[in-house]
Chains A and B, each alone.
Chain A
Amino acid sequence: DIQMTQSPSSVSASVGDRVTITCRASENINVWLAWYQQKPGKAPEVLIYAASDLQNGVPSRFSGSGSGTHFTLTITNVQPEDFATYYCQQSNSFPRTFGQGTKLEI
Chain B
Amino acid sequence: EVQLVESGGGVVQPGGSLRLSCAASGFTFSSYDMNWVRQAPGKGLEWISYVSSSGTDIFYADSVRGRFTISRDNAKSSLYLQMNSLKAEDTALYYCARDDGWDGYWGQGTLVTVSS
Contacts and interface: CB of A to CB of B under 8 A. Distances in A.
B102 A34 contact: yes
Interface in A25-70: 32, 34, 36, 38, 42-46, 49-50, 55
B45 A95 contact: no
> How many of chain B's residues touch chain A, expressed as a range?
20 to 34
Contacts of B1: none
Main SS of chain B's interface residues? Answer: strand
B32 interface: no
Contacts of B59: 94-95
Contacts of B109: 43
B44 A101 contact: yes
Nearest to B109: A43
> How many of chain A's residues touch chain B, expressed as a range?
20 to 34
B47 A95 contact: yes
A43 B108 contact: yes
Interface in B37-77: 44-47, 50, 59-62
